């Protein structure tokens, strides 16, 4: 990595899961030469999924060419997939960006912009059944790379994704140092981070809570021109 600025952009829209965004942001802003651009249609504050408003610092029109562009997920992807301003910005930036990335269901916005066609990629576990709909080759993993496309799984996987791409950009020593400075040493109290390791009673309860959300999401996919699984 040279001394030249490295332009990192996050696409913001209403209804983002804030940790999808703030986890990678906390890692990537520490890269040498990083210049962070929080891009949206306007500079108006945007509500996240947990009461924390997010404030863009540039508009799509004013944003410079990015070296890395990342799309977080959240319930707001329903509208983002159908928003020509969002997908148009992604398409234009991706033409010259060194890296195109997403966290969680933000991958579907990349797909809606035509940027995952034939690409191995990951997303939140609950949405894998519909992932191929937007052209992706689904891979169940925390972080997946296919060429210049990096994708992270659900929510907390965004930190793993960010450290992975930090090592690619600036070298492993830098990534190690960032991880140490953040004291990122996960030791969760429960072994329930994936559906394969939880009791059936827990999994069935979570599936039931996700059912209406997935129904709304699949309707948004249809509106965006895709054909979801309805499974």
Handedness of CA 199, 132, 152, 71 (dihedral sign): negative
Residue 193 has which token pair?
Answer: 């981070």
Split into its structural domains, the chain has a count of 1
Q: What is the CATH number of the domain that holds 17?
A: 3.40.50.880
Q: Is residue 43 part of a domain?
A: yes
Domain that holds residue 164: 6-187
Main-chain phi, psi angles of 63, to 5 degrees: -65, 135
Asked if the structure places residue 203 within a domain, the reply is no
3-state secondary structure 154-174: CCCHHHHHHHHHHHHHHCHHH
Q: Is 197 within a domain? A: no
The per-residue pLDDT for 85 is 98
Given the residues 50, 63, 70, 104, select the one marked as catalytic.
104
Q: What is the pLDDT of residue 2?
A: 55
Whether residue 202 is contained in a domain is answered as no
Q: What is the DSSP string of 51-62?
A: S-EE--SEETTT
Q: Is residue 196 part of a domain?
A: no
Half-sphere exposure of 122 (CA within 13 A, CB side): 20
63 a catalytic residue? no
In a domain, 214, yes or no: no
- Going by their DSSP bridges, the two strands 46-47 and 53-54 should be labelled as antiparallel
Is 62 a member of any domain? yes
Using only C-alpha atoms, the chain has a radius of gyration, in whole angstroms, of 17
Tell me what pLDDT residue 1 has. 47
Which residues have C-beta within 8 Å of that of residue 46, sequence separation ≥ 6?
12, 13, 14, 16, 40, 53, 54, 55, 56
Structure tokens at 110: 């990349």
Q: What is the pTM of this model?
A: 0.96
> Per the domain annotation, does 146 fall within a domain?
yes
Chunked into runs of 10 residues, the chain (231 residues) has average pLDDT values of 85 98 98 98 97 97 98 98 98 98 98 98 97 97 98 98 98 98 96 93 95 96 90 56
Identify the three-state secondary structure at position 149.
Answer: strand
Classify the C-alpha dihedral 205-221-58-36 as positive or negative.
positive
Give the DSSP letter of residue 120.
E
């Amino acid at each position: 990595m040279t001394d030249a600025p490295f332009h990192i952009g996050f696409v913001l829209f209403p209804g983002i899961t804030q940790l999808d965004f703030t986890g990678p942001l906390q890692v990537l802003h520490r890269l040498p030469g990083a210049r962070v651009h929080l891009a949206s249609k306007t500079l108006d504050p945007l509500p996240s999924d947990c009461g924390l408003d997010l404030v863009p610092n540039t508009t799509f029109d004013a944003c410079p060419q990015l070296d890395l562009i990342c799309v977080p997920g959240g319930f707001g992807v329903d509208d983002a997939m159908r928003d020509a301003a969002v997908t148009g910005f992604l398409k234009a930036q991706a033409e010259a960006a060194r890296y195109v990335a997403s966290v969680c269901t933000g991958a579907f916005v990349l797909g809606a912009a035509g940027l995952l066609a034939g690409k191995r990629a990951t997303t939140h576990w609950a949405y894998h059944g519909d992932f191929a709909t937007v052209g992706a080759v689904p891979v169940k993993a925390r972080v997946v790379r296919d060429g210049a496309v990096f994708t992270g799984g659900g929510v907390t996987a965004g930190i793993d994704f960010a450290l992975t791409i930090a090592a690619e950009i600036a070298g492993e020593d830098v990534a190690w140092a960032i991880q140490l400075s953040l004291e990122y040493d996960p030791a969760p109290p429960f072994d329930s981070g994936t559906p394969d390791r939880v009791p059936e009673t827990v999994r069935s309860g979570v599936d039931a809570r996700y059912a209406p959300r997935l129904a709304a999401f699949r309707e948004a996919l249809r509106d965006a021109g895709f054909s979801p699984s309805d499974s």
